[in-house]
Structure 1
Amino acid sequence: MKRSIKKVAVLGSGVMGSRIACHFAGIGVQVLLLDIATPGWEGNKLPKNKLVNDALQAAIKSNPSPVYTKDVVKRITTGNFDDNMKDITSCDWVIEVVVERLDIKQQVYEKVEQFRKPGTLITTNTSGIPIHILSQGRSEDFKKHFCGTHFFNPPRYLRLLEIIPAPETDQSVIDFLMHYGDVFLGKTTVLAKDTPAFIANRVGVFGIMSIFNTMEKFDLSIDEVDALTGPIIGRPKSATFRTADVVGIDTLVKVADGVAQNCTDDEARDLFKIPAWLQTMIENKWLGDKTGQGFFKKVKIPVTEGSPEERKSDKEIYTLDLKTLEYKPRTKASFGSVKAAQPIEDLKTRLKALFTAKDKAGDFYRHFHYALFSYVSNRIPEISNELYRIDDAMMAGFGWEIGAFESWDVFGVAETAQAMKAAGYPIASWVDEMLAAGNTSFYKTENNTSLYYDVASKTYKPVPSAGNFIILENYKNKIVWKNSNAWLYDIGDDVVALQWQTKMNTIGSEVLQAVNKSIEIAEDKFKGLVISNSGANFSAGANVGMIFMYAIEQEYDELDMAIRMFQNTMMRVRYSSVPVVTAPLGLTLGGGCEMNLHADKVYAAAETYIGLVELGVGLIPGGGGTKEFVVRAADEMHEDEPETITLKNRFFTIATAKVATSAFEGYDLGILRKGHDEVVINPQRRTGEAKNAVIELYNQGYVQPVKRTDIKVLGRSALGALYVGINSMRLANYATDHDALVARKLAYVMCGGDLSEQTLVSEQYLLDLEREAFLSLSGEKKTLQRIEAVIKKGKPIRN
């Protein structure tokens, strides 16, 4: 049958249920969110749906937000099991997310069976109860359409969705959910077996328990371990112990206990046994963030200096000493090898340096990886027949940048296996067989396709998801042009794609050179150009270090040339003779935003944080961003409203340095164009979608745009109104004196200067005003102080 999802019922409004409901609403699906009636509602005259409504409101107010935009909540209808279970008849998918008790889940399923129409999907988000047990006693149609769909919290941000079939689950149901999760929910959908903790939690909790053991071996503190197991090795900032506090130490212990009790053949079973100090934490209710303390605790520190009004308690984070179980001030970990590796941008190169280090950190990294590699090799085929599923699950569920088997490839499979055996870490026999057959890696690339070693067939097979995604690194044999920071790839069908790699993917002279060269090559030999980056961020903006250097040395001619080059490059993007389509993701700020403003079309990942933020460093957008907002404001003006309203909205978006917290908010800020630019829920699909757009634009008979000379600017009639707004912000202390100075410069440019009447001007006229304002502000002392703070501390000061 052809299946579509128009309405979903979520049963259970706890932390996971309410957030799953929000994510479905965010992608445009109608949601029915149900829970038990509010306890005591009859006697206390409380609203019957107070429990579910309060849970939904708590989710909406939580940080990070579970929704792309606040208005999506309109798609969620709430109710209770007593009155509204009958309404699931109209739903295409019922997701059960009630408390982890078999008897309660079975009671809910009994009610579901009364009202669910045949063929409706019914899934559970359980993480601890075997899927096959949950479906026992249900009807044949229920069993055919029942399986596990294990989301990770928070569902909007953690991309893993484990699909766990029960014995009677129809294959078409599994196929549909694998596809739907990928395309519509934006998930890395991983097929898992019905084994304790499935894939991600099984390996993830092993990793944490293994670290508990390894840190004792090397006498490391909590602060030292978190310094070693965070972003430096491609793991989240929360590293190990902070992650445990966020997830909940009771949850960690529950999963570990479940594996220890139920996985009798697990060779590492002893590692899942709870250490005495951890048991004490459970008894003391030191469960992490949910109880206010866990491995870390906020402690009030009295301030003794200053006036009585200023002597308020300050809060400082203390760390638990596992030897004494007392909280102490955090200590900054320092390892020579880590310090030496920090400047290395490429993760794989950095991992090699850390893995071979000769200090205590190096010893920790080797044993840390040996234990992980040993464990995952022995989990095949127990939890997965395919090794890539384990890597996918860990990257999507635990935020790893690189999977375990891929890491093993980085260090060299054969030599690492030999070292592991010597250190007493067993490896699975299939790894020895793979190496003996002359296969030296778990992954390889052939014909631009990622292949994995298939243990069952002892051959390499394509990673299934790779066929749906364009992974630019797979096109290393198709490099058309490159410089030291950027690569232009032939991605097939007469389309080229540009990516670059700098710190935070900032844009300097070499990136600008690459953009210009790529357009030149595309115009000569290809249908068009995709601009996409594979890292976590599209671009954090222009290279402010270069701006600071020119300004501090008063090299204003050089700075003027640099700004002209940036502006001309953005105009080259706009006025190329072939389509240029961008595919942003993550931070897309300042100059990165300006590049997208000038593209023919944008395919933005849902998690794109885009905005013009130059006001924060005492500048205005100088790469065409200010000009483009004026152009768009002029095009949006209409007779039904005062002309200054549209310009004011555009002005304050820049003046307050607003950043969209999702690509959908990018529409609201006027950065993305409704009905023109697209949002892609699964970030791995954006490059492929951008390529398809290039081909479509080309086939439609793409015509090079004509430069604009008809842009209406309002001059003094709007300038006065904007100045009044700026002064009001200053008087209300929403802006500093320097903020007001910068904002007035911005207003001057956006109004087209001090013109006595409305005038039609060219884009170049606006670009010249923009550049002049940028140059004058770069000489301001307070602007230089802000830029210096960004360079040294990563964020501007407010002066």
Structure 2
Amino acid sequence: MKRIVKKVAVLGSGVMGSRIACHFAGAGIPVLLLDMAADGPDRNRIVNDALASAVKSSPSPVYTKDVVKRIATGNFEDDLKEVATCDWVIEVVVERLDIKQQLFEKVEQYRTPGTLITSNTSGIPIHLMCQGRSEDFIKHFCGTHFFNPPRYLRLLEIIPTPGTDPAVIDFLVEFGDHILGKTTVLCKDTPAFIANRVGVFSIMAIFSLMDELGLSIDEVEALTGPMIGRPKSATFRTADVVGIDTLAKVAKGVFENCPEDEAKQLFVIPAWLERMVANKWLGDKTGQGFFKKIKNDRGASEILVLDLKTFEYGPRIKPKFASLEAAKLIETLPAKLKMLMSGQDKAGEFYRQFHYNLFAYVSHRIPEISDELYRIDDAMKAGFGWEIGPFESWDAAGVAKTVEAMKAAGFRVAAWVEEMLAAGHHAFYTIENGKRKAYDPVSKACKLLPGSDAFIILNNYGDKTVWKNSSCRLYDIGNDVLALQWNTKMGTIGGDVLSGIQTSVEKAESGFKGLVIANEGANFSAGANVGLIFMLAVEQEYDELDMAVRLFQNTSMRVRYSSVPVVLAPHGLALGGGCELSLHADKVCAAAETYTGLVEMGVGLIPGGGGTKEFTLRAADEVQHGEPENIPLQNRFLTIATAKVSTSATEAFELGIYRTGHDAMIINQDRRIAEAKRSVIELYDSGYVAPVPRTDIKVLGRSALGALLAGINGMQKGNYATDHDALVAKKLAYVMCGGDLSAPTLVSEQYLLDLERQNFLSLCGERKTLERLQSVIKTGKPVRN
């Protein structure tokens, strides 16, 4: 019988519990959220306050505020019996074994046999929690460890007990992947499981190296952040966010409960860390930790950093290392890591010592915490935000060469690594026909990674390259489908990318079913190349600027009117030009975490790659019988005029960027490219016919223009918009109304594109627009002028 989860109970509404409830609700599943009964008439005050606090928190735990409607609240005394109506019960109460066991005893009085029952513990052995419970309870019980915040950190560790039914584990792995969008990693019931075991080891190893090499906190942050594919929060900022007491607790837990761990001494808490815990300097939760935010003499916010020798806070200092400066010129992370580890300065020594420590440690954790090395990499990428995992990093450095260097430096690797190299396997990962294989220490062979057919990673198709230029690469991903990606900074779109899109459409039309456009890395696209626009505008190269805008518009229309389907699979940022491409695709398969919008107003421009035209066209199509014709137009105008960016793919549907019933949200980001490929095949096989250019778009002319201009003037007089904001908004209104027409008129797409381009170019000649563009180039943010 196929198991279906129609309703979930979450027991405990603290930071984790309330956010787990929000994530399930965001996935479309009704939730019952319970906590202790409060004194007084409002017995649900504790749970309701916790949920309200979670929804107001930043970053938001919900895709849209409406998600909360799927969460019902209650308390353990009055409402625990309601777990009988739930298909999955998740315990998220305080980390004390006795309290958890007592709660499970009560739950079993009401739980329906066959119901899933799991704990979100991060530190208590899973098998101890179900002692004394019934056979059915034990059979359906395991650990499901979500990482905080559950919406954004994609790791879900699943930890079975000896009594857990294997079918339950199989179901949770699949459910976590397909429904919750998680990287589900099967773990053994060992202290701290996988991610925290390796992640906290990494942090403690860095603490030790910092003392040994005499590095400051600022220096360590520079060495351990994005430069090596780690989050911007690097090491110490991560500790502040997680909680310094939590970090110390996990480290102590490993030290006390892992007597056979060869690196056990690294988990001993440094004296300065003990002092911080004693001082209650625990990070964000107490307002200060390794960093402290203050208001300076000018009233501006300033971040101070702790000096671990004096225990006083002082201004941050930007460190400089020769190795880091040289590495900035290297584009790919594997090549960058290899270079950094060969550096001859203090940074190079740090990278060698740290990675030798890390490589040795993870080699010895097999088979203790996992039988498969890829699970450790998956856990670190999904749980700690590493761009590549430790074994992938080891591959980048060169396994055989590094092992010899490690031996010379006194580091001992596990025997299975030596056996792997002796047998002729020179890397932990290999790629064959676009499929990734990982070395398996048990069978001593390379095995295909699970889900290889469901996940498409474009970088695995390097040997299937059909065409490329300096920015783009076009792959044959099988089944007569092509896929294009580009590798520019932040996915910005310039001439090379536009040429690449046009060429890719052309090649797809000559013998293929269609084209997928997607990028890997952090973002799909941050929009058009602002630097190029600024340069051409400052030098008053208006003919070239006109050609550049025409090229973008023509590319958008080439995507729209291709003779084969073109499907986009955006994720992360999909702004400006990245959003405009989505507006013109046959279908969009967007990751749930896609932040998209037409943001050109912020830099003093209007959308010039077809975005203004497309929003005008959609507004005309949205007019309902009996509805004032200007209402959809006003809504679309405001979305552009306020540079509204969706906080999720769900909100992008609400903004009308994605089309309900047509485009798709893919909750597991890793599946979006495979889903886009499936959509291309489905569209083609169902008898795809290219759409016909529109000539029947009804624009409203002066009547609507007058209303929009009146609204803009009101915002300007109320000081809600600067004079330049008003000027740009008026240009936008002019285009969206079809110009100064005396009456509503039917126009073509090309008519609107011409209006769009002309007004975009006119704004490029405005001094304040140039100031905004320059500010974005220098600081990443537009100046308000």
- 1:175 and 2:170 are equivalent in the alignment: yes
State which of 546, 556, 562 in structure 1 corresponds to 2:542.
Answer: 556
- 1:360 and 2:355 are equivalent in the alignment: no
Match of 2:241 in 1: 246
- 1:71 and 2:57 are equivalent in the alignment: no
Q: Distance in 1 between matches of 2:332 and 2:628?
A: 52
Consecutive unaligned residues in structure 1, runs of 5 or more = 304-312
Q: Aligned to 1:467, what secondary structure does the other structure show?
A: coil
Give matches, 1:253-652, under 5 Å.
253-303=248-298, 313-652=299-638
- 1:14 and 2:9 are equivalent in the alignment: no
Q: CA deviation at 1:298?
A: 1.8
Q: Aligned to 2:746, what secondary structure does the other structure show?
A: strand
Which digits, 9 at most, give the CA deviation of each residue in 1:409-458, with x for residues without a partner? 00100111111111111111111111111110000101211000000111
Q: Distance in 2 between matches of 1:466 and 1:507?
A: 30
Q: Aligned to 1:274, what secondary structure does the other structure show?
A: coil
Which digits, 9 at most, give the CA deviation of each residue in 1:654-706, with x for residues without a partner? 00100000000001111000111000000000000001111111111000110
Q: CA deviation at 1:467?
A: 2.8
Q: CA deviation at 1:230?
A: 0.5
Give matches, 1:635-714, under 5 Å.
635-714=621-700
Match of 1:306 in 2: none
State which of 46, 50, 56 in structure 2 corresponds to 1:51.
Answer: 46
Q: Aligned to 1:3, what secondary structure does the other structure show?
A: coil
Structure 1 counterpart of 2:554, one-letter code? N
Which digits, 9 at most, give the CA deviation of each residue in 1:78-103, with x for residues without a partner? 00011111111110000000000111
Q: CA deviation at 1:639?
A: 2.7
- 1:27 and 2:22 are equivalent in the alignment: no
Runs of 4+ in 1 over 4 A off after TM superposition: none
Q: CA deviation at 1:314?
A: 3.4
Match of 1:37 in 2: 37
Match of 1:309 in 2: none
- Tell me whether 25-34 or 785-794 shows the greater mean CA deviation: 785-794
- 1:215 and 2:216 are equivalent in the alignment: no
Structure 2 counterpart of 1:287, one-letter code? L
Which digits, 9 at most, give the CA deviation of each residue in 1:231-261, with x for residues without a partner? 1111001000000000001100110000000
State which of 118, 122, 126 in structure 1 corresponds to 2:121.
Answer: 126
Give matches, 1:110-259, under 5 Å.
110-259=105-254
Q: Distance in 2 between matches of 1:99 and 1:46?
A: 25
Residues 345, 503 of structure 1: 8 Å contact kept: no
Q: Distance in 2 between matches of 1:654 and 1:57?
A: 30
Q: Distance in 1 between matches of 2:129 and 2:596?
A: 44
Residues 318, 328 of structure 1: 8 Å contact kept: yes
Q: Aligned to 2:634, what secondary structure does the other structure show?
A: helix
Structure 2 counterpart of 1:732, one-letter code? G
Residues 711, 762 of structure 1: 8 Å contact kept: yes
Which digits, 9 at most, give the CA deviation of each residue in 1:14-60, with x for residues without a partner? 0000000000000100000000101xx1xxx3410000000000000
Q: Distance in 2 between matches of 1:26 and 1:731?
A: 40
Q: Aligned to 1:257, what secondary structure does the other structure show?
A: helix
Q: Aligned to 1:603, what secondary structure does the other structure show?
A: strand
Q: Distance in 1 between matches of 2:30 and 2:718?
A: 42
Residues 550, 556 of structure 1: 8 Å contact kept: yes
Q: Aligned to 2:359, what secondary structure does the other structure show?
A: helix
Change (3 A) 1:742 1:49: same
Which digits, 9 at most, give the CA deviation of each residue in 1:508-534, with x for residues without a partner? 111111111111111111001110111
Q: CA deviation at 1:344?
A: 2.8
Q: Aligned to 2:240, what secondary structure does the other structure show?
A: helix
Which digits, 9 at most, give the CA deviation of each residue in 1:695-754, with x for residues without a partner? 111111000110000000000000001001111111222211111100000000000000
Structure 1 counterpart of 2:21, one-letter code? A
State which of 749, 753, 776 in structure 2 corresponds to 1:767.
Answer: 753
Match of 1:100 in 2: 95
Q: Distance in 2 between matches of 1:423 and 1:464?
A: 36
Q: Distance in 2 between matches of 1:439 and 1:235?
A: 28
Q: CA deviation at 1:218?
A: 1.1
- Tell me whether 50-59 or 313-322 shows the greater mean CA deviation: 313-322
Q: Distance in 2 between matches of 1:684 and 1:270?
A: 37
Q: Distance in 1 between matches of 2:296 and 2:497?
A: 47
TM-score (norm 2): 0.99
Q: CA deviation at 1:352?
A: 2.0
Q: Aligned to 2:451, what secondary structure does the other structure show?
A: helix
Percentage of identical aligned residues: 72
Q: Distance in 2 between matches of 1:705 and 1:460?
A: 47
Structure 2 counterpart of 1:156, one-letter code? R
Q: Distance in 2 between matches of 1:391 and 1:318?
A: 34
State which of 792, 795, 798 in structure 1 corresponds to 2:778.
Answer: 792
Q: Aligned to 1:534, what secondary structure does the other structure show?
A: coil
Q: Distance in 1 between matches of 2:329 and 2:778?
A: 14
Structure 1 counterpart of 2:162, one-letter code? P
Q: Distance in 2 between matches of 1:373 and 1:248?
A: 26
Q: Aligned to 1:451, what secondary structure does the other structure show?
A: strand
Match of 1:715 in 2: 701
Structure 1 counterpart of 2:778, one-letter code? K
Which digits, 9 at most, give the CA deviation of each residue in 1:479-525, with x for residues without a partner? 11111111111111111111111011111111111111111111111
Q: Distance in 2 between matches of 1:274 and 1:522?
A: 59
Q: Aligned to 1:709, what secondary structure does the other structure show?
A: coil
Q: CA deviation at 1:362?
A: 1.0
Number of residues of Structure 1 aligned to a counterpart in Structure 2: 785
Q: CA deviation at 1:340?
A: 2.3
Q: Distance in 1 between matches of 2:564 and 2:583?
A: 17
Q: Aligned to 1:22, what secondary structure does the other structure show?
A: helix
For the aligned residue pairs, the C-alpha RMSD in angstroms reads 0.8
- Tell me whether 356-365 or 393-402 shows the greater mean CA deviation: 356-365
Q: Distance in 1 between matches of 2:726 and 2:418?
A: 68
Q: Distance in 2 between matches of 1:344 and 1:75?
A: 47
